Structure 1
Amino acid sequence: MAAYHYAEAKGADPTAPLLFVFHGTGGDENQFFELAGQLLPGARIIAPRGDVSEGGALRYFRRTAEGVYDMDDLRQRTAQMTTFVQERLAESQPRAVIGLGYSNGANILAAVQFAAPELFSASVLMHPLIPFVPASADFTGHQVLITAGQRDPICPAPASQALADYFRAQGAQMSLYWHAGGHEIRPEELREAQTFLAPFAG
């Protein structure tokens, strides 16, 4: 059993979409919990808290410097999170399983998708940074939205484009939304995420 502290909002409908929400560095399970309910009303929402501390800031896996990941730790934490998602999925019969993550949360979500592409029907990756080439996987029929800042100092634009190109090459229905700023989340990208998620509601 993969133990994470997590917040949960249960959908009234046992077949309601299951939405996993992953916070950024320094956030916690509450960072996007309320927002998630606004983006996909009626969903069962699960928001796990990262269990790695970086100077007191919660994360989902270790890094040795900005943009330099502890790859052994990432593999271990990815397996742990994959098990957690599988366990929560077994508790209901959702008609769709969706992930939404920001920054470090987007990175662990992407890593789980690379490891187990069958788990998520769709994902919203806000300002992800994947500084390695993922292995080939079949994402045919999966929907992916990446939102990114053109001047993001943490997640450079070429890295965001490369990740989008990867998903597209693996068969995903891929959308990439840019705003003119940096690493911050802007209202227009949240609107884009809401539009992306709308078909899964109801």
Structure 2
Amino acid sequence: MSSYQFRADPAADETAPVIFLFHGTGGDENQFFELAGQLLPGVRRVAPRGDVSEQGALRYFRRTGEGVYDMEDLARRTAAMAQFVREQAGASSQVIGLGYSNGANILASVQFSAPELFDKAVLMHPLIPFAPPPANFAGREVLITAGRRDPIAPAGATQQLADYFEANGAETKLAWHEGGHELRQDELTAIQAFL
């Protein structure tokens, strides 16, 4: 069993859809828990807490600088998170992922390594500063939300990630707002429509 601390709804129905919630740097397992309940009433929620501390801020993997990832650590923690998702998803009829910033990055990394895990994924302000390996996302849906003026996740990198998912068979949507790294209402509206 993997060792993440997490918050979850009790599994009333083992086959019910489940949504995994991945917080941003400095957030925790509570960051999107209530929001997910509003977006998808009745879905089972599972929110793992990042187990890396960066000067007290929780994250899912180490980095050596802004936008510079410790790739060995990322590979290790991606494998651990994929195992956690498999354990928690069990026999769920649909597995959904939603992540913001660092949470979107670990979610995307798990998708690259195990394309079959998530039926739908919402990546809010992701930054993938490396070329992901080819994968088969046929039958999978991906929504990427981003700010055109995001200083942390540049628009060009966001577009490249959307192009990657599209080229590898995912039904891909990209929702922009005119701001930066913050979450905005029109973004949440796009997420609700997607889910």
TM beyond 0.5: yes
Which runs of at least 4 in structure 1 moved beyond 4 Å after TM superposition?
none
In the alignment, what sits opposite 1:49? 49
Per-residue deviation, 1:12: 4.0
| Number of residue equivalences | 195
- Paired AA for residue 71 in structure 2: M
- Are 2:123 and 1:130 aligned? no
Runs of 5+ unmatched residues, structure 2: none
- Paired AA for residue 117 in structure 1: P
Per-residue deviation, 1:13: 3.7
Q: Over the residues paired in the alignment, what is the CA RMSD in angstroms?
A: 0.8
- Paired AA for residue 24 in structure 1: G
In the alignment, what sits opposite 1:82? 82
> TM-score, normalised on structure 1?
0.95
Judging changes above 3 Å, is the alpha-carbon distance between structure 1 residues 68 and 151 closer, same or farther for their aligned structure 2 residues? same
Per-residue deviation, 1:10: 3.3
> TM-score, normalised on structure 2?
0.98
In the alignment, what sits opposite 2:29? 29
- Paired AA for residue 39 in structure 1: L
Instruction: Summarize the alignment of residues 36-115 of structure 1 with structure 2, pairs less than 5 Å apart.
Output: 36-90=36-90, 93-115=91-113
Of the three residues 158, 164, 167, the one matched with 2:165 is 167
- Paired AA for residue 18 in structure 2: L
Deviates more, 1:74-83 or 1:6-15: 6-15
SS of the counterpart of 1:163? helix
Q: Is this contact kept in 2: 1:11–1:43, CA < 8 A? A: no
Deviations 1:99-138 (A, max 9, x none): 0000000000000000000000010000000000000000
Runs of 5+ unmatched residues, structure 1: 198-202
In the alignment, what sits opposite 1:18? 18
- Paired AA for residue 101 in structure 1: G
In the alignment, what sits opposite 1:150? 148
Per-residue deviation, 1:60: 0.1
Q: Is this contact kept in 2: 1:6–1:48, CA < 8 A? A: yes
Give identity over the alignment, percent.
Answer: 68
